[in-house]
């Protein structure tokens, strides 16, 4: 049997949005497919499966990553945060609210990835200017072309955070 | 003009809007496609033994064992693509040749690599100029021939002739096209990435020999389409076929590379444009000929030169649309087909002529403004192109520029301004909408329309709320389901006009039905009243003259023991247009661009882009603006980045990933200024005009014209690349 066919079922323990899940996975399963196909967390989207579009962005130990380029088995003992896990006391995250207000989305498919990337960008302190936001949001493609509104939404949240500091 | 937040935004920002790939059915299995690695020839052998023996594999379907399907029907947008499992012939690279079905996606993907396909290859026809290629003339019958363009060209004071090239582009919606098909005995349900559920239902019903009532197509949300979802692609049929073969629900998700070859693209085109002009800058002749690529065995005639004939006042106009059959994946429709391409040539040429005749580019367009529709001679139902140009010039600071090319510098950057006029087309298709008032006093709208990101949910809810006097949150919009009343595609910039018009008819019918209900009701203050005496607000119907006389919907329904009251509305604007006495107009626009070019490095940056748009009545300023900025971003891609690179020898797509096929990213897009001008359209019942596509049109010409102003280099091929700037 060729290497391509060698599948080892593995029991993987994943901590996602604070909940611990034990799942039996084909060892080739990416974090993205584990979230979508095994944990019923379909908010994280697959846009290319090649790490090039950012639609599958999640936080791994608080840092943004593309979940299609990480195997689920590599995430044991680490904290995964998806778009389903960013609400605060049942209320939408400030970034989510700003995206709605600024119409920073159209078809909405890239939006969960944009939201996760924006949350991370703010934490990284990369929202100091519009140009900086544009540069550090450029790993998240939006084919509908909502970019100016995405920048406006992030700019607003960055401004609120600066004021409340 | 309100600026309501998109009603589905909370679902989308939280990841809870369900796209076709997000659905999972009990007992579901997975399909993966195997695609041809050659562009022409036939399959000499296909060995599925190893794949069938791989873990979890349930079936491998090829042309050798596929149950036969009936040919697909024609659609209002043209012929369907060829179904590839009919025989052993290969007509393009990336043609589906096998479907592997397995218990998990991983199993299906790895088994797909074990399918051994042998080909008897032929030399593919890949070049527009290949003498072997079959040429189709005027495939859509949309060529225009008014006056005598040849004679006018030969006698014109000033003549112009140039050639324009536009690279093929891939729609590339972010959502990977997915079909999840399931059979319940002889009833078929598919979740599918369709912009046109009614068309997809008809295709599936025909293919499988079912009544349309036994096929249901669901697409509550679509991860973008841009025209890719307007045809019955074979992966949809193959998923349904696979589900029938294995007797379980089958999910098939295209990969990103497969998206380049499976769901259409904007065909490569070349245009020869000849213009005749007076010394005073009046157009006397236009002759625009396009040659575009077409699939080897299909008849999807997506025209290239659609907007030119009615763009300006010119007595002698001829257009020619030729298609050349090549061994390439089927082209299809990509946002603003026929307008984005034709406009690039025409508006670039006018810019060139503006320098030759010494007339400002804005003024040159104003001089050629078409007061009436140039072919029919009828008055426009609306046309604010003049205002678009004037408002745009003022707002952009156009007059402040030094008109001389290469005259403006900022450090290493050469700075240029460019502009383009835009006249979009008008399109309408019949639409039906069903409107209900429920016992709670809230309303439900049902139509088999789709929201592909355009804002259909939002503007439909706003329209219902306004007509029935409800709050938007009291209106539920149900779309994206072929079981609902038939609506046209999201495509052609016709849905907003058709759907809001049908809603208006349905609302009138519904209120009439309500008045009929209380006609003999002694307890109703509205007893015996006519529709023209009443209006609705705050969830109640009341007299226009005396708002105190009226009652709540909920009270009427409760007193009459009704769970709901329902009425349909139907609108066929294309039929109504025939004797309307006006020329129905699409959108108009003017685009103004500022670019910066660093010639040492070949860098091109767009630093400002203004769009002034006449979109008729704007229902929602937020979603309307989003349509324009989104189209503009796609126009920036067309101008500066996008090109599907077909390998000249093999016909393979050499750049079928987002790493290699460049689309604009956030850092490529400046703040985009959008202004709406004009007023309600006189022919559209709701005053609305379509805005879904006009945003693309004119952007490439405005950018190319700005590049000329910056550098003195006239670029007539898209995308504009580094080598053209250095």
Instruction: Identify which of A45, A63, A65 has the alpha carbon closest to the alpha carbon of residue A55.
Output: A45
Q: CB–CB of A145 and B114 under 8 A?
A: no
What's the mean per-residue pLDDT of chain B?
A: 97
- Per residue in B102-118, pLDDT (tens digit) is 999 999 999 999 999 99
Report the distance separating Cα B597 and Cα B608, nearest Å. 13
Pair (A76, A146) in one structural domain: no
Report the distance separating Cα B63 and Cα B43, nearest Å. 9
- A contact test, residue of B174, B450, B619 with most A CBs within 10 A: B174
Q: CB–CB of B173 and A112 under 8 A?
A: no
Report the distance separating Cα A37 and Cα B548, nearest Å. 57
The residue range of the domain holding A39 is: 3-85
> Looking up tokens 């444009």, which residue turns up?
B273
> Looking up tokens 């599925």, which residue turns up?
B48
What CATH number corresponds to the domain at position A13?
A: 3.10.20.30
> Could you tell me what percent of chain A has a pLDDT over 70?
95
Q: Which of residues 645-684 of B touch A (CB under 8 A)?
A: 657-659, 663-672
> DSSP letter string over B229-243?
GGS--HHHHHHHHHH
Residue A65 pairs in a beta bridge with A58
Q: Reduce the secondary structure of B77-106 to three states and give it as a string.
A: CECCCCCHHHCCEECCCCCEEEEEEECCHH
Q: What average pLDDT does this structure show over A90-100?
A: 96
pLDDT above 80 (res A13): yes
Last residue of a domain, one of A53, A85, A117: A85
Q: What average pLDDT does this structure show over B331-343?
A: 97
Q: What is the pLDDT of residue A4?
A: 47
- CA angle centred on B560, ends B557 and B563, rounded to 5°: 50
Structure tokens at B207: 């293919």
B110 closest CB neighbour out of A4, A103, A142: A4
Q: What is the pLDDT of residue A164?
A: 78
Grouping H, G, I as helix, E, B as strand and the rest as coil, residue B151 is helix
Contact B469, B539 (CB under 8 A): yes
Contact B644, B652 (CB under 8 A): no
Pair (A76, A148) in one structural domain: no
pLDDT above 80 (res B170): yes
Q: Which of B298, B551, B643, B693 is catalytic?
A: B693
pLDDT above 70 (res A3): no
B30 at interface of A, judged by CB pairs closer than 8 A: no
Type and span of the H or E element at B698: none
Instruction: Pick left, alpha or beta for residue B535 (phi over 0 → left; psi -120 to 50 → alpha; otherwise beta).
Output: beta
Pair (A81, A98) in one structural domain: no
> Could you tell me what percent of chain B has a pLDDT over 70?
100
Q: Residue B77 CB: number of other CB atoms within 10 A? A: 22
Pair (A43, A72) in one structural domain: yes
Q: What is the pLDDT of residue A90?
A: 83
Report the distance separating Cα B650 and Cα B643, nearest Å. 17
Alpha-carbon distance values, B624 to A142, B5, B602 (Å): 17, 11, 35
Report chain A residues whose CB lies below 8 A from the CB of B176: 46-49
Q: Is B570 designated active site? A: no
Q: What is the pLDDT of residue A6?
A: 57
Q: What is the pLDDT of residue B140?
A: 85
Pair (A14, A75) in one structural domain: yes
Is CATH 3.30.365.10 the right assignment for the domain spanning B25-123+172-263? yes
A7 closest CB neighbour out of B8, B17, B106: B106
- Per residue in B502-547, pLDDT (tens digit) is 999 999 999 999 999 999 999 999 999 999 999 999 999 999 999 9
Q: Reduce the secondary structure of B482-526 to three states and give it as a string.
A: CCCCCCCCCCCCCHHHHHHHHHHHHHHHHHHHHHHHCCCCCCCCC
**CATH code 3.30.365.10 region(s) in chain B:** 25-123+172-263, 266-426+583-725, 431-577
Type and span of the H or E element at A136: helix A130-136
Q: Walk across the sheet containing B187-192 and list its strands.
A: B57-62, B96-102, B29-35, B250-253, B178-184, B187-192, B215-218
Q: Indicate the DSSP class of residue B668.
A: G
- Per residue in A59-76, pLDDT (tens digit) is 999 999 999 999 999 999
Report the distance separating Cα B415 and Cα B226, nearest Å. 32
Residue B89 pairs in a beta bridge with B42
Q: What is the pLDDT of residue A1?
A: 42
CATH number, domain B431-577: 3.30.365.10
Pair (A71, A124) in one structural domain: no
pLDDT above 60 (res A2): no
Distance from the Cα of B189 to chain A's closest Cα (Å) equals 21
A109 closest CB neighbour out of B107, B174, B669: B174
Q: What average pLDDT does this structure show over A39-43?
A: 97
- Judging by DSSP bridges, how do beta strands B89-90 and B41-47 pair with one another? antiparallel
- Per residue in B393-414, pLDDT (tens digit) is 999 999 999 999 999 999 999 9
* pLDDT category of residue A7 using cuts at 50, 70 and 90: low
Q: If you measure CA to CA, which chain A residue comes closest to B659?
A: A52
Q: What is the pLDDT of residue B112?
A: 98
Distance from the Cα of A156 to chain B's closest Cα (Å) equals 15
Strands (E), B234-363: 250-253, 265-266, 269-277, 283-295, 317-326
Contact B330, B299 (CB under 8 A): no
Last residue of a domain, one of A40, A56, A85: A85
B224 at interface of A, judged by CB pairs closer than 8 A: yes
A106 closest CB neighbour out of B10, B453, B666: B453
Q: Can you say how many angstroms the Cα of residue B90 is from the centroid of all Cα atoms in its chain?
A: 29
Q: What is the pLDDT of residue B425?
A: 95
Pair (A68, A135) in one structural domain: no
pLDDT above 80 (res B572): yes
Establish whether the linkage from the previous residue to B576 is cis, with ω within 30° of 0: no
- Per residue in B74-109, pLDDT (tens digit) is 999 989 999 999 999 999 999 999 999 999 999 999
Runs of H (alpha helix) within B146-222 = 149-155, 197-208
Pair (A107, A145) in one structural domain: yes
Q: Can you say how many angstroms the Cα of residue B263 is from the centroid of all Cα atoms in its chain?
A: 13
Q: Residue A137 CB: number of other CB atoms within 10 A? A: 23
B298 at interface of A, judged by CB pairs closer than 8 A: no
Q: CB–CB of B18 and A83 under 8 A?
A: no
- Per residue in B467-481, pLDDT (tens digit) is 999 999 999 999 999
Alpha-carbon distance values, B157 to A114, B134, B147, B284 (Å): 55, 37, 18, 9
Q: CB–CB of A99 and B13 under 8 A?
A: yes
B26 at interface of A, judged by CB pairs closer than 8 A: no
Q: If you measure CA to CA, which chain B residue comes closest to A118?
A: B13
Q: How many domains does chain A have?
A: 2
Pair (A105, A61) in one structural domain: no
Q: CB–CB of A147 and B623 under 8 A?
A: no
* pLDDT category of residue B2 using cuts at 50, 70 and 90: confident
Q: Indicate the DSSP class of residue B141.
A: S
> Looking up tokens 């397995």, which residue turns up?
B102
Give chain A's radius of gyration (CA, Å): 17
Alpha-carbon distance values, A36 to A17, A106, B117, B658 (Å): 14, 22, 32, 22
Q: Residue A77 CB: number of other CB atoms within 10 A? A: 9
Alpha-carbon distance values, B498 to B428, B434, B570 (Å): 7, 13, 9
> Looking up tokens 């300006």, which residue turns up?
B312
Pair (A100, A160) in one structural domain: yes
Report chain A residues whose CB lies below 8 A from the CB of B10: 92, 96, 100
- B414, with CB counted inside 10 A (0-12, 13-18, 19+), is buried
Structure tokens at B199: 């068309």
Contact B57, B245 (CB under 8 A): no
> Could you tell me what percent of chain B has a pLDDT over 90?
97
- Per residue in B688-723, pLDDT (tens digit) is 999 999 999 999 999 999 999 999 999 999 999 999
| Helix B197-208 with B234-246: angle, nearest 10 deg | 50
> Looking up tokens 């909408």, which residue turns up?
B433
**In chain B, what's the furthest Cα-to-Cα distance?**
85
Distance from the Cα of A16 to chain B's closest Cα (Å) equals 15
Q: CB–CB of A146 and B9 under 8 A?
A: no
Contact B587, B694 (CB under 8 A): yes
More confident call, B606 vs A88: B606
Which residues 6+ apart lie within 8 Å of B269 measured at CB? B165, B166, B290, B291, B292, B293, B304, B341
Pair (A140, A73) in one structural domain: no
pLDDT above 90 (res A10): no
Report the distance separating Cα B347 and Cα B332, nearest Å. 24
Distance from the Cα of A160 to chain B's closest Cα (Å) equals 19
> Looking up tokens 């990969």, which residue turns up?
B255
Contact B300, B79 (CB under 8 A): yes
Q: CB–CB of A146 and B222 under 8 A?
A: no
Q: CB–CB of B453 and A115 under 8 A?
A: no
Q: What average pLDDT does this structure show over B668-687?
A: 97
Alpha-carbon distance values, B279 to B157, B283, B353, B419 (Å): 6, 10, 10, 21
Report the distance separating Cα B227 and Cα B229, nearest Å. 5
Report the distance separating Cα B165 and Cα B718, nearest Å. 6
- Per residue in B10-20, pLDDT (tens digit) is 999 999 999 99
A135 closest CB neighbour out of B13, B667, B672: B667
Pair (A70, A137) in one structural domain: no
Q: CB–CB of A108 and B623 under 8 A?
A: no
Strands (E), B510-620: 534-537, 540-543, 550-552, 564-571, 588-598, 603-614
Q: CB–CB of A143 and B17 under 8 A?
A: no
Last residue of a domain, one of A64, A85, A106: A85
Structure tokens at B540: 């109640």
Report the distance separating Cα B619 and Cα B391, nearest Å. 21
* pLDDT category of residue A162 using cuts at 50, 70 and 90: confident
Cα of first residue to Cα of last residue in chain B, in angstroms, is 46
Instruction: Identify which of B133, B115, B142 has the alpha carbon closest to the alpha carbon of residue B301.
Output: B142
Q: What is the pLDDT of residue A89?
A: 84
Q: What is the pLDDT of residue B602?
A: 93
A145 closest CB neighbour out of B12, B24, B634: B634
Q: Indicate the DSSP class of residue A38.
A: I
Which backbone phi and psi does A72 adopt, to 5 degrees? -55, -40
pLDDT above 60 (res B1): no
- B528, with CB counted inside 10 A (0-12, 13-18, 19+), is exposed
Report chain B residues whose CB lies below 8 A from the CB of A137: 666-667
Sign of CA pseudo-dihedral B141, B142, B148, B151: negative
* pLDDT category of residue B151 using cuts at 50, 70 and 90: very high
Instruction: Identify which of A33, A34, A37 has the alpha carbon closest to the alpha carbon of residue A14.
Output: A34
Is CATH 3.30.365.10 the right assignment for the domain spanning B266-426+583-725? yes
């Amino acid at each position: 049997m060729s290497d391509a066919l060698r599948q080892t079922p593995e029991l993987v323990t994943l901590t996602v949005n604070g909940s611990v899940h034990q799942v039996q996975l084909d060892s080739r399963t990416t974090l993205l497919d584990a979230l979508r196909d095994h944990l019923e967390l379909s908010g994280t989207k697959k846009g290319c499966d090649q790490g090039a579009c950012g639609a599958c962005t999640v936080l791994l130990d608080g840092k943004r990553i593309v979940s299609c380029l990480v195997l689920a088995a590599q995430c044991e003992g680490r904290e995964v945060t998806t778009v389903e896990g960013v609400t605060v006391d049942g209320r939408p995250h400030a970034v989510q609210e700003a995206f709605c207000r600024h119409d920073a989305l159209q078809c909405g498919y890239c939006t969960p990835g944009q939201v996760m990337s924006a949350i991370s960008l703010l934490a990284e302190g990369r929202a100091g200017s519009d140009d900086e936001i544009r540069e550090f949001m450029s790993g998240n493609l939006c084919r509908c072309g909502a970019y100016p509104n995405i920048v406006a939404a992030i700019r607003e949240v960055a401004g609120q955070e600066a004021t409340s500091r | 003009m309100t600026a309501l937040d998109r009603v589905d935004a909370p679902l989308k920002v939280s990841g809870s809007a369900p796209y076709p790939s997000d659905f999972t059915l009990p007992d579901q299995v997975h399909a993966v496609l195997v695609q041809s690695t050659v562009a022409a020839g036939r399959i000499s052998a296909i060995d599925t033994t190893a794949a069938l023996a791989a873990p979890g594999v349930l079936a491998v379907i090829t042309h050798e064992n596929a149950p036969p399907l009936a040919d697909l029907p024609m659609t209002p947008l043209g012929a369907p693509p060829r179904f590839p499992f009919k025989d052993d012939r290969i007509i393009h690279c990336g043609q589906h040749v096998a479907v592997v079905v397995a218990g998990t996606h991983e199993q299906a993907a790895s088994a797909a690599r074990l399918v051994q396909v042998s080909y008897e290859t032929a030399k593919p026809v890949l070049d527009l100029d290949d003498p072997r290629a079959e040429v189709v003339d005027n495939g859509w019958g949309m060529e225009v021939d008014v006056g005598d363009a040849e004679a006018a060209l030969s006698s014109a004071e000033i003549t112009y002739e140039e050639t324009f090239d536009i690279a093929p582009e891939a729609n590339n919606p972010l959502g990977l096209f997915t079909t999840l098909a399931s059979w319940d005995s002889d009833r078929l349900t598919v979740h599918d990435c369709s912009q046109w559920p009614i068309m997809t239902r008809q295709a599936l019903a025909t293919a499988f020999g079912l009544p349309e009532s036994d096929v249901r197509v669901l697409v509550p949300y679509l991860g973008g389409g841009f025209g890719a979802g307007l045809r019955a692609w074979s992966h949809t049929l193959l998923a349904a076929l696979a589900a029938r073969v294995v007797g379980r629900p089958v999910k098939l998700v295209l990969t990103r590379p497969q998206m380049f070859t499976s769901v259409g693209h904007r065909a490569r085109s070349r245009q020869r444009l000849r213009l005749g002009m007076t010394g005073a800058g009046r157009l006397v002749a236009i002759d625009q000929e396009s040659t575009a690529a077409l699939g080897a065995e299909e008849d999807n005639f997506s025209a290239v030169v659609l907007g030119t004939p009615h763009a300006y006042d010119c007595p002698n106009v001829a257009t020619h649309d030729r298609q050349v059959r090549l061994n390439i994946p089927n082209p299809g429709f990509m946002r603003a087909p026929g307008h984005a391409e034709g406009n690039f040539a025409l508006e670039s040429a006018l810019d060139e002529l503006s320098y030759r005749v010494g007339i400002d580019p804005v003024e040159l367009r104003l001089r050629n403004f078409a007061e009436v529709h140039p072919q029919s001679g009828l008055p426009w139902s609306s046309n604010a192109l003049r205002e678009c140009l004037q408002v745009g010039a003022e707002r952009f600071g156009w007059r402040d520029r030094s008109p001389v090319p290469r005259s403006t510098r900022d450090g290493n950057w050469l700075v240029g301004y460019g502009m383009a006029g835009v006249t979009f087309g008008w399109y309408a298709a019949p639409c039906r909408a069903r409107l209900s008032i429920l016992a709670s006093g809230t309303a439900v709208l049902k139509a088999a329309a789709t929201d592909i990101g355009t804002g259909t949910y939002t503007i439909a809810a706003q329209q219902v709320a306004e007509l029935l006097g409800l709050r938007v949150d009291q209106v539920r919009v149900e779309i994206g389901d072929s079981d609902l009343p038939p609506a046209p595609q999201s495509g052609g910039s016709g849905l907003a006009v058709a759907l809001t018009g049908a809603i208006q008819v349905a609302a009138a019918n519904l209120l009439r039905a309500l008045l009929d209900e209380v006609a003999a009701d002694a307890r109703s203050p509205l007893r015996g009243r006519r529709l023209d005496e009443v209006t609705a607000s705050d969830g109640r119907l009341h007299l226009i003259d005396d708002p105190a006389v009226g009652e709540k919907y909920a009270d009427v329904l409760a007193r009459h023991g009704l769970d709901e009251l329902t009425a349909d509305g139907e609108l066929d604007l294309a039929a109504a247009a025939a004797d309307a006495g006006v020329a129905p107009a699409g959108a108009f626009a003017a685009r103004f661009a500022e670019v910066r070019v660093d010639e040492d490095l070949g860098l091109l940056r767009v630093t400002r882009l203004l769009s002034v748009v006449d979109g008729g009545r704007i229902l929602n300023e937020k979603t309307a603006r989003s349509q324009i900025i989104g189209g503009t971003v796609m126009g920036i891609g067309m101008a500066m980045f996008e090109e599907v690179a077909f390998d000249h020898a093999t016909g393979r797509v050499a750049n079928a990933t987002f790493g290699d096929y460049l689309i604009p990213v956030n850092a490529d897009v400046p703040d985009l200024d959008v202004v709406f001008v004009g007023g309600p359209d006189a022919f559209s019942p709701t005053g609305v005009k379509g805005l879904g596509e006009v945003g693309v049109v004119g952007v490439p010409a405005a950018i190319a014209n700005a590049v000329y102003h910056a550098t003195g280099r006239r670029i007539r091929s898209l995308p504009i690349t580094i080598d053209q700037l250095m």
